[in-house]
Amino acid sequence: MAAAVSSIGIMDGAYFVGRGEILHWINATLQLSLAKVEEAASGAVQCQLMDMVHPGVVPMHKVNFDAKTEYDMIQNYKVLQDVFNKLRIVKNIEVNKLVKGRPLDNLEFLQWLKRYCDSVNNRIMNENYNPVERRSKGCKERGSKGSNKSSKSLQANRLSGGDSADGGPGVGKVCNTFAEEHYIEQIQQLSEKIADLKVSVDSMEKERDFYFSKLRDIEIPCQRPELEHLPVSPRLRELNARFQMTKAVRKILYAADAKDSPLPDANDIITKSPGLFSDEAE
């Protein structure tokens, strides 16, 4: 049956159901008070309608009834898509259009969804399903994950105005209390990431300065004016001089302590090198 409903054409009678009938069906089924079809653009209503016809399949604790940003709405549609996949419902959810709140796009999707729900329950409402309780329970389960990190003062403030999360009508006010806890947790996580990034930046800057100082220490001996008069012959003297220069460079490169510069030792190797800066140099 799911496959048959998912493949209905645009000329099917399902797409001729008016907005008024769709809104009446949603409000009566889920005990809501939607005035426009675009108020269901967050995807939360669609998730709960699937929860009604397939109890236990929809993870209601992941459904955000207070979603206002496109990011949060997309998360709801991800939940809905996972439900479709579990039930092997082949239906393309045009998330990018739905989250924009376009009336026609949302109406068409709700028309399809009504047709699907009617095909599953034969238009008989599940009397054992309590939509308000399911919303409230889902919000509490979702919000409880961030409650451990919430301050006592914020908890007191939320309790003083706690009537907004009792699961009553009005989708936008169902989960204000628990959404607040969720955002507090997100802020704390982002703050921790920022602190970690600052530590990483400090570490990289220290490492950069360490290697820059090494390069600078190598540059200084190489710029000594005496090096311009290295002897061309005899060959052995020249090789020995270059070998001593290499030792000086290696002394700098392999010095592990960034505080004590190895430059004096390197210069000492060059200065004491026999024949490197000899008066006999030609």
Q: Is it true that the peptide bond before 59 is cis, omega within 30 degrees of 0?
A: no
Q: Tell me how crowded residue 167 is: count the other CB atoms within 10 A of its CB.
A: 20
- Cα angle for residues 10, 34, 106 (degrees, 5° grid): 25
- pLDDT tens over the chain, length 282 residues: 554 555 566 667 778 899 999 999 999 999 999 999 999 999 999 999 999 999 989 999 999 999 999 999 999 999 999 999 999 999 989 999 999 999 999 999 999 999 999 988 877 777 888 999 998 876 766 666 555 544 444 454 555 444 444 445 455 555 666 667 777 878 878 887 887 787 778 778 877 887 777 777 776 766 666 555 555 556 666 666 677 777 777 777 777 665 667 777 777 776 766 555 554 444
Q: Tell me how crowded residue 77 is: count the other CB atoms within 10 A of its CB.
A: 22
